[in-house]
Structure 1
């Protein structure tokens, strides 16, 4: 388990500062309270435009709270959340979502009694019936997640865990998004399903202009997908930089995660 760490910029994090114009999302000094509990303690986080940023850290470090704070589900008690340089932390969750931000929670949030088709239709703001869904967009999603086409009229609650996760991501992408927040997509999935999910997320990055912030505990997934990385501990970001630097430097892995990524290869 990772020990609580002081907030010190590593050499990798400090090497190339990002200009604000390069950032899709940034958090500045964000604190979040949930009832009597102080969860986030001044989070500073940069998510570059058009890249996939991994948010890593032990259980309880504040990763899910960070995503929920960005979405306004748990409002920031202090600090700023900026989307393309514009503050959004005082907006309601529906207003934040209207700015083309989609959130895939850890529990996936699908409607089990509805079909795959109906789940996607609910997420498509521009369509009122299945016939009004963007067929070109659907074909693209079916290319990423073929099982969704196969089980189009199947109750979502009867899908496998991996298929439910793919539906959750497809629902978030049924319309073009500028920012996608995903919370632990590989959790509870079999290794073969995780590999399929990784390939689908890689293709999503290649074929769209969506910026992705992804929370993950599986370090093989993090290694395969991440371009940038931020590591959290005790409600703060304690390291940020290029994912490649963290992968190549075992001392950084030990310092910030308490493990070696090499051990997970």
Structure 2
């Protein structure tokens, strides 16, 4: 059993359905996140990507199907229990506390309240602006800097799985390139990553595997490189060509 957990996918969704009030949003989502590397979750707007992430985290409850993390069924677990198990979640809305300093935001993200100095130095190497604004309120940061802080909060402690929802949305090209560098560096660590992203240059640059959603269903899974090289498949699944978004 231990060997199977060590080599099998870190996360697996099987037939996941989610209702929000009277609305049936997910209609049987199934895909895997292999250990190590980056899995992209792609799809048109409204395909159900964010709902999938929130269902994994227990913020919305799956009405059918299973979510398995590191060999354990977490479908009915609470959000705090899921986070405690080793999953960090960065939502699309940049979850930072604007009235607190950057330092205070980071200390809150550390489960013990104490930050490992070597890990903090590692975070500063990826996000030097956070060191510059360490004692400033997070509310004065730019949109790109707030996104950096949001990601930094998620990685200030080691996690097995990092789930990130559109980290480059609304960011300038230079900041996007920095994010690409960050996720490439994260790939060299032991963390596995599930990443929703609309910037297809980012998706192609960092993605190893991909799951594509449409209308609350999984319509394709495979290697990101294979999708990036197949214009016809891109048009079929996404309604556009990645080549037009370099």
Same fold (TM over 0.5): yes
CA drift of 1:22 comes to 2.5
| Superposition map of 1:34-45 within 5 A | 34-45=20-31
Alignment partner of 2:180 out of 189, 198, 204: 198
Matched, 1:97 2:83: yes
CA drift of 1:84 comes to 1.4
Is the 8 Å Cα contact of residues 44 and 237 (structure 1) preserved in structure 2? yes
**Secondary structure at the residue paired with 2:10?**
strand
Residue 117 of structure 2 corresponds to: 135
Alignment partner of 2:213 out of 226, 232, 250: 232
Residue 236 of structure 2 corresponds to: 255
Matched, 1:178 2:160: yes
Task: Point out where structure 2 has 5 or more consecutive residues left out of the alignment.
Answer: none
Residue 44 of structure 2 corresponds to: 58
Is the 8 Å Cα contact of residues 117 and 152 (structure 1) preserved in structure 2? yes
Which sits farther off after the overlay, 56-65 or 186-195? 186-195
Deviations 1:22-55 (A, max 9, x none): 3000000000000000000000010001120000
Deviations 1:186-219 (A, max 9, x none): 001111111111111111222x210000001111
RMSD across aligned positions (CA): 1.1
Residue 217 of structure 1 corresponds to: 198
Residue 67 of structure 2 corresponds to: 81
Task: Point out where structure 1 has 5 or more consecutive residues left out of the alignment.
Answer: 1-18
**Secondary structure at the residue paired with 1:213?**
strand
Deviations 1:153-203 (A, max 9, x none): 010011011110010000001100000000000001111111111111111
CA drift of 1:258 comes to 1.2
Matched, 1:110 2:96: yes
Provide the rounded CA distance (Å) in 2 between the counterparts of 1:99 and 1:246. 32
Provide the rounded CA distance (Å) in 2 between the counterparts of 1:238 and 1:56. 10
Matched, 1:26 2:26: no
**Secondary structure at the residue paired with 2:19?**
strand
Residue 156 of structure 1 corresponds to: 138
Q: After the TM superposition, which parts of structure 1 deviate over 4 Å for at least 4 consecutive aligned residues?
A: none
Q: What TM-score, normalized by structure 1, do the two folds share? A: 0.89
Provide the rounded CA distance (Å) in 1 between the counterparts of 2:163 and 2:115. 23
CA drift of 1:126 comes to 2.0
CA drift of 1:134 comes to 0.6
**Secondary structure at the residue paired with 2:222?**
strand
Provide the rounded CA distance (Å) in 1 between the counterparts of 2:33 and 2:17. 18
Matched, 1:47 2:33: yes
Provide the rounded CA distance (Å) in 2 between the counterparts of 1:51 and 1:135. 25
Is the 8 Å Cα contact of residues 144 and 204 (structure 1) preserved in structure 2? no
Provide the rounded CA distance (Å) in 2 between the counterparts of 1:134 and 1:74. 32
